[in-house]
Amino acid sequence: MKKLPRVLIVFTAALLILAILPEKAGAQKNIFNRGTPGELEKAKQLSLDILRDQAANRAVGNINDFQIMLVEVDDVRMAHTRVRQTVNGVPVWEGEAIVHLKENGELFTITDDLKENVAVNTQANLTPGDAIVAAEGYYAPGAQFLTEKPEADIWIYRAEDRDHLAYRVRLERLDGSEYTSAPVMFIDAHTGEKIFEYDNLQTGTGSSLYSGIVLIQTSSDGFTPPTFYMEDTVRRMGTFNMNSTGNDDFPWGGGTQSRFTYPSDIWNTTSQQAGVDAHYGAAKTFDYYREVFGRNGLNGNFGPGSATAAANSSVSLVVSRVHYGSSGAFNNAFWSGNQVSYGDGDGRRYGPFPSVDICGHELTHGVIQYTAGLNYSKESGALNESWADVFGAMVELYTRGGPPTLETWQIGEQVKSPGFAGDAMRYFYRPSIDHYSQRLYQGSCSPTYNTNDNCGVHSNSGIANYAYYLVAAGGTHTRSGITVVGIGVQKAQRIWYKALTSFMNSGTNFAGARTATLNAAAAIYGPDEVYTIAKSWCAVGVGDCPDLLVNGSLEGTIVPWIGSGPGFFYTSRGNNPSRGGTGYVYLGVNDRAAGQVYQTVSIPTTALGRLTFSLNVTSSERSFDDARDHMWFEVRDTSGHALTHYLPYTNRDNMIVPWIYQQRIFNLSYFRGKTVRIQFRVSNNNTSPTVFRIDNVSLQ
């Protein structure tokens, strides 16, 4: 990994400034290298000290009572300490922070979702059992249909009205019926009322069958003749058959789980084909995360294992289940804690679900569960779905090899509408919801059982999907019209993974995802990649577009522009109209006047190199006179030597209608990757003067 210069990133409402800073004299030497226990303890203590300093000015509670969730040192030798806020020992829902330290122990940034001024009585009136009874009463189909015993734990939940002491009650109905779900209800621990609810069943929407003849890792019992199992004890993943049958206890049941067994290690029966796809997809997902990111399994430690052990050992397996659903036509796939289940589809709208990209998608829900833990509702739920889509697509690209194709940017194209080419469940490059202004449930949203898709987690995920597509592949957003130069999938996937694992929390929203990806790009790459990330999120309506020029609007001050000469003037409160606001530069004004104004800027290789400015020309010269007064737009090097200048504007460009500004556009793509001066220069002769007014200068 190359050593990067220190990068200062300053975000304001309208601009992104990148500046390379020199190293401090006498800076600490590196203290984070391999993530040893001593290094992790040092990172923890430094992080807590930083939080204590900040807490002195914030009402976030006692830092000493916070729960340490994870401390790790990553591949670029940064340390990340995740903490959860507590009040009187009760954890605060989505009250989390991550302290990010550079390799020398200095603060890089803080991902801060701590809740201020928590006000609630932390003594419960109800027991966990009372809360479970209340939740079962709110469960519309009836508690008799639940397939697992409910669980309850206590939290402080900040609702729209106030803070509540609440039990989180987790219900589960995994029976393969149309009501299959995993409702999570928050029950007020004082009153028993339901505060909030969402469905935590993390789903797609929706020879091996899809990948031809493939190699899969299996195991056997060692006898002669042997019995083979579709179980990979190296990756600790196993694939099982749900048989598409019900049972007496649950007439809507999803089937009885059984092992795939065969006397031969050639799996080619009709029933086995979906199992081969799921097993192959799980292996490729494991290999992708290990080879690309060095991650061993969904939780980083070959798990999460389930209660199901391998047939020939005590190895606990991450389980994939196929032929799920009593009708044999279950139109879905879902992740539920430590296993993924795939329906067979109805054969018309959907085929069997274990295509490689859907396998990657569903298993990535497991990675999310063990990293950021994005809650599966509202914006964090949409991001959960989007990140699963992104890595589902990247698993498919990794599996197929070669550069991205159109199918890379489609999810479930092999599953959706069998027999119809080009049909897919979701499209990165044309999602149904492609801009933040178009998102569903923009106001308050309280999801209830099996309604509104947890406030649009699948539909709204298209916003972040499109942002990733623009980062990786580039293009022009169909709604905003903003064009982005992509940086390729290799960099894009690394940034998205780093954002998920190091800079995102359970309650991260779209604005937080933008910040997380910007921080990730700065941590492992540099200004070019940061610029592309900011531009892509801007294209989908999240945050402002980065302008390479500072104060191009010229409001309030001329800084950091530098002007000189008797022909240079600036006003922040002009009496004459400007192109928006009251500040502008004006050049010329007097006879025999020369002057200039410039700003030095570094143009990333990923920038468009499109410069625009608004120009007004008024002159005392007659319109039919010769060109006597001139104003040039120029590009110069940092020493002031001219690199190029364009045909001048003159007194003959006098605006027919006073105070009308016209936008001028220049292509500076030739100067990408260079640091240059953007300069305006004037020269008036000794006859009647001309005034050149300049405003709203922008470089993208």
By annotation, the residues acting in catalysis are 362, 458
The answer for residues whose C-beta is within 8 angstroms of residue 511's C-beta and 6 or more apart is 542, 543
318-324 and 237-241 as β-strands: parallel, antiparallel, unpaired?
parallel
- The CA angle 417-394-520, to the nearest 5 degrees, is 135
Chain Cα centroid distance, residue 532: 14
Distances (CA, A) of 609 to 113, 467, 478: 36, 20, 20
- CA distances in angstroms from 448 to 161, 323, 456, 500, 612, listed in the order given: 18, 28, 12, 27, 49
Rounded CA separation 252/237 (Å): 27
Residues in Cβ contact with 693 at an 8 Å cutoff, skipping those fewer than 6 apart: 576, 578, 584, 585, 586, 615, 616, 617, 618, 661
Question: Hunting for tokens 């992080």 — which residue is that?
Answer: 47
Distance CA 648, CA 634 (A): 10
Max Cα distance, the chain (Å): 107
**Going by C-beta distance under 8 Å and a sequence separation of 6 or more, which residues neighbour residue 214?**
208, 276, 280
DSSP 501: I
- Where are the strands (E) in 337-437, listed by range? 339-343, 410-411, 426-427
Cα–Cα nearest to 649, from 664, 659, 671, 637: 664
Question: What single string gives the DSSP state of each residue in 584-634?
Answer: EEEEE-STT-EEEEEEEEE--TTS--EEEEEEEEEESS-TTS---SEEEEE
Beta strands in 88-193 (DSSP E): 90-101, 107-112, 151-158, 163-170, 183-188
